[in-house]
Amino acid sequence: MRAKPILVIVGALLAIIGVGVLAYRWEVPRQPTLCQVCSRPVPQQTAYRMETARGTTIHACCPRCAMHDMVDHPGTVRRAWATDFDSGRMISAEAAYYDEGGDAQYCTRGHERMEREPEGVRERVYDRCLPTLVAFATRDGAEAYRRQHGGRVLTYDEALESVRSQ
């Protein structure tokens, strides 16, 4: 007789755990491990997300890569979010401040300036993710990063214009 109440309790616990796992998977958006624009790994500290007019979501490795895609496909992005480098939270891309050209590389790490090819070695002269563009929720955060890593602090519109002129 004691086995029945124990089985009921175990069954209830398993049901609660199952519902919790399903709710977590439903609520937490999956972030691809590869950029949907350039196919590089997506670093957590520079991840960028765009919602298109069709309602689909595009995940990018960094703000510069995403902004290149926005420039190449005007009018397709309805909203965009950048990762605040300091907190790791997603913030409105338009409200963010950006450090451009600092000495740290995130999504291009491991992609050396010199590349080996079957014909020999060549210098990489263009990379859509360079110069590095890092997002911050506050101008103070961007300025602190600039003091440590160099570069220049830009608003969203200035960053987008820099990408356009590249």
Q: Are strands 90-92 and 77-83 parallel, antiparallel or unpaired?
A: antiparallel
Kindly state whether residues 76 and 147 are assigned to the same domain. Answer: yes
Q: How far apart are CA 157 and CA 109, in angstroms?
A: 26
Kindly state whether residues 91 and 128 are assigned to the same domain. Answer: yes
Kindly state whether residues 17 and 50 are assigned to the same domain. Answer: no
Kindly state whether residues 15 and 59 are assigned to the same domain. Answer: no
**Residues of the chain above pLDDT 70, percent:** 81
List CB contacts of 5: < 8 A, sequence separation 6 or more.
none
Kindly state whether residues 23 and 100 are assigned to the same domain. Answer: no
Q: Identify which of 18, 39, 32 has the alpha carbon closest to the alpha carbon of residue 129.
A: 39
pTM, whole model, 2 decimals? 0.73
Q: Identify which of 154, 61, 59, 52 has the alpha carbon closest to the alpha carbon of residue 102.
A: 154
What pLDDT score does 105 carry? 86
Kindly state whether residues 9 and 55 are assigned to the same domain. Answer: no
What pLDDT score does 11 carry? 81
Could you list the residue range(s) of the whole structural domain that residue 110 is in? Answer: 33-164
Give the confidence band of 114 by pLDDT, cuts at 50, 70, 90: very low
Of 16-30, 93-107, 146-160, give the lowest mean pLDDT range.
16-30
> Which pLDDT tens digit goes with each residue over 26-54?
655 555 688 999 888 899 999 999 999 88
